[in-house]
Amino acid sequence: MPTSPPPAPDQALVPVRVLLPGGQEVVARLWARRQLPGGWRYHIGIPVYKNGPGDTVEAAEYRVWVRAPDHVRPVPGVSYDQVPTEYLPKPSVVDQVLGPRRPSGWVLAKAGGRGPGRGGAVHAVDCEEAPARAQVLTLDRALDGAQQPGVRLCSLCGAAAELDPFSRASTTPWTTDTSRAQPVALCGSCLSPG
């Protein structure tokens, strides 16, 4: 995570207004800011008292991470440029081009009954029709499941579009599972080099 430099020991920390439960508002110190996928968190120090030795009471500070802007507000006229700040890493060029990607893997939703031909469906792991907490299958396991009698590939989540080309290709000699390989006739130009 990219960060700004930490504050110098003699650097004055900046004030921030903190909204407490029950509607109270206090001024606290802002120690750091952190950007997270779900929003910003601010590391604040709220002034409090603590019991000291004997019957003494001492000034202290309670530090906690809070959500911004839910729990904090800026103090008018205060600059927050010097607050140590951690930013989310910038997305890679691949992530920028492709955008968000779905989780990998598939699950098999079995239909009721016993024995061969009982049916079911292969879904992407994030399909709304996929069973909760089902075992995530690799490509080969999903293709094996899809070849069982009565099992279909879900078209709602795209498992059909994603897996169907692989299931058709599984009969070619370059598949990793040679038990399903079938001989293919090649023309002479395919066999000649260059």
- Global pTM reads 0.50
Cα angle 164, 167, 172; round to 5: 135
Question: What is the reported pLDDT for 183?
Answer: 43
Q: How far apart are CA 146 and CA 163, in angstroms?
A: 9
Question: What is the reported pLDDT for 2?
Answer: 53
Which tens digits make up the pLDDT trace of 12-33? Answer: 679 999 999 999 999 999 999 9
Which tens digits make up the pLDDT trace of 79-120? Answer: 999 999 999 988 888 877 877 777 788 888 887 666 655 678
Which tens digits make up the pLDDT trace of 121-168? Answer: 898 888 888 888 888 888 888 888 888 888 888 888 878 888 877 765
Question: What is the reported pLDDT for 15?
Answer: 96
Q: How far apart are CA 46 and CA 31, in angstroms?
A: 11
- Secondary structure of the chain in HEC code, one letter for each residue: CCECCCCCCCCCCEEEEEECHHHCEEEEEEEEEEEECCEEEEEEEEEEEEECCCCCEEEEEEEEEEEECCCEEECCCCCCCCCCEECCCCCCHHHHHHCCCCCCCEEEEECCCCCCCCCEEEEECCCCCCCCCCCCECHHHHHHHHCCCCEEECCCCCHHHHHHHHHHHCCCCCCCCHHHCCCCCCCHHHHCCC
Question: What is the reported pLDDT for 68?
Answer: 94
Q: How far apart are CA 9 and CA 65, in angstroms?
A: 21
Which tens digits make up the pLDDT trace of 62-85? Answer: 999 999 999 999 999 999 999 999
Q: How far apart are CA 177 and CA 2, in angstroms?
A: 45
Q: Which residue has the tokens 């909204």?
A: 19
